[in-house]
Amino acid sequence: MNEMCCKQIVEFMADYLEKELPDEAYKVFEQHIKDCGCCAEFLRTYRETILLCRECMCNKPPEDRPEIPEQLVKAIMEARKRM
């Protein structure tokens, strides 16, 4: 495996981030990311998305939502009555 096209890079991205790529593929992958701005950018957003998802699921229990101020609730109820 000497070169990867962008489509392959995208397919390998999950494995790359989970460090499940074989060494050789890993090197080719990183080389491509260095040379290819599009894939580098895609990898960055891909990684951020995964991190965000993990943070949401692990760190924030569902009950930990920001509280809605009572006044806002009242204002919404009032607005509804008028509709």
Q: Please list, in sequence order, all residues whose beta carbon lies within 8 angstroms of the beta carbon of residue 21, skipping any fewer than 6 positions away.
A: 12, 15, 29
Structure tokens at 50: 């995964």
39 binds Zn ion (CB under 5 A): yes
17 binds Zn ion (CB under 5 A): no
- C-beta separation of 17 from 47 below 8 A: yes
State the nearest-atom distance from the C-beta of 10 to Zn ion, in Å.
8
10, 17, 36, 50: which one contacts Zn ion (CB under 5 A)? Answer: 36
Tell me the site size for Zn ion, rule CB under 5 A: 3
Whole-angstrom distance, CA of residue 58 vs CA of residue 39? 28
10 binds Zn ion (CB under 5 A): no
6 binds Zn ion (CB under 5 A): yes
Q: Name the site residues for Zn ion (rule: CB under 5 A).
A: 6, 36, 39
